[in-house]
Chain A
Amino acid sequence: MFCLSELEDTVRVPPSDLNLPLEVAIKKALQKLFLDKVLSIGLCVSIYGIKSIEGGFVLPGDGAATYKVRFRIVVFRPFVGEVIAAKFKESDSNGLRLTLGFFEDVYVPAPLIPTPNRCEPDPYNRNQMRWVWKYGDDEFIIDDSCQIKFRVENISYPPVPTERAEDAKPFAPMVVTGTIDDDGLGPVSWWEACAPISDDED
């Protein structure tokens, strides 16, 4: 789910931070620059550590020092095939949207919901559609009652749109597509009845 990436960038340390120890000041600048941002490698979560600092140039006309910094960063970049536990966010006729708390652009499109299924208006929320999986005579509703496990199918980084429709959703720079169409995936409660191994067995 998370991995380390090594980056190199030139960082401007504003004069107000020059009284701090250099590493602290640079870390502060890096956090401002990268945290909670999506690069082509994933969502930057946390600065792991600084490897090297070079320079300290003061550019003409600028009161700040500029350093060339090599550092490592913790990135959220799930791999394809990884199983992740998420929470339900919303659902409509196109599929489900799940959230991890810090990342909310996980989509499960309709074809990746276990079949046979049906989509019906949610009796508790009229703005929403809810999905029901039919298994034999039983019906399983997908709602926000428990965690939902999904398997990563694809990660995409859509290009920034040049024009935006007025009713468009907020732009998401990183979209994870997941599937819940397999044994053990989907709401955790679906599979709770399947016997967990107990201590007596070993």
Chain B
Amino acid sequence: MKNIIVKANAGALTNFEVLDLLNSRGASKDTTRVIASETVSRSEYKVYDYLMETAASTQTRDSVTKFSDKCKGFKLAKAEILNIINLRPSSDVELTPILERPDEREIDIEGILALVQELLPPLPTLEAHKENEQEETEDGEQPNMETSV
């Protein structure tokens, strides 16, 4: 197969942008999707499933652009900003492996973490846990309600 690679790297994409692209094609968590997958192929759904478990699933275009704009004040490389958006680190120990030699470059780690906290929504798993907990407590209360009714 002969194909010509015109430009191997025409720009990096964040996880959010890939997820947004798949969403615009009509990808969803629907159970009937396996049968009716005219527009989204099976391999694309694997990517979709992976991305839905990452921070990308709760991000919005607004939050991502705002974050990358504000990050410019921190002397970070583009790739590092991209990696922060994809992983959404919430603690020092999650952020430092992303950065290259953070000690020598005197990067304001606290400031970045505060910005992440402010602009990027939390990871879906954390939210799901909280929801589950809430449901559990609600479930616990419900039997009483029912018996009283």
Interface, chain A (partner B; CB < 8 A): 1-10, 31, 33, 35-36, 39-41, 45-46, 48, 70, 72, 74, 76, 79, 81-85, 100-102, 149, 151, 182-185, 191, 194-197, 199, 201-202
Contact = CB atoms under 8 A, between A and B. Distances in A.
A84 B95 CA distance: 12
Interface stretch (B13-21, B130-138, B141-149): B13-21
B73 interface: no
Given A45-B18, A101-B49, A83 B87 contact: yes
Contacts of B90: 196-197
A76 B1 CA distance: 20
Interface residues of B, number: 47
B127 interface: no
B76 to A, nearest CB: 13
B15 A79 contact: no
Contact of B43 (A40, A45, A151, A194): A45
Nearest to B44: A46
Interface string B92-132: 11111110100000000010011001100000000000000
A191 B93 contact: yes
A173 to B, nearest CB: 13
B122 to A, nearest CB: 10
10 contacts: A7-B5, A7-B6, A10-B2, A36-B43, A40-B5, A74-B18, A79-B79, A151-B97, A197-B114, A199-B117
B63 interface: no
A2 B91 contact: no
Interface of B: 1-15, 17-18, 21-22, 25, 41, 43-44, 46-47, 49-50, 54, 79, 83, 86-87, 90-98, 100, 110, 113-114, 117-118
Query: Which 8 residue pairs across A and B have the least CB separation, nearest first?
Result: A102-B46, A36-B43, A6-B7, A196-B91, A9-B3, A101-B50, A184-B97, A4-B10
A195 to B, nearest CB: 7
A182 B9 contact: no
B43 A48 contact: no
Most buried by A among B14, B22, B92: B92
Given A31-B41, A191-B91, A191-B94, A2 B18 contact: yes
Contacts of B2: 9-10
B4 to A, nearest CB: 5
B21 A46 contact: yes
Contact of B5 (A2, A5, A82): A5
B87 A85 contact: yes
Nearest to A100: B50
Contacts of B110: 197
Given A1-B86, A39-B5, A82 B79 contact: yes
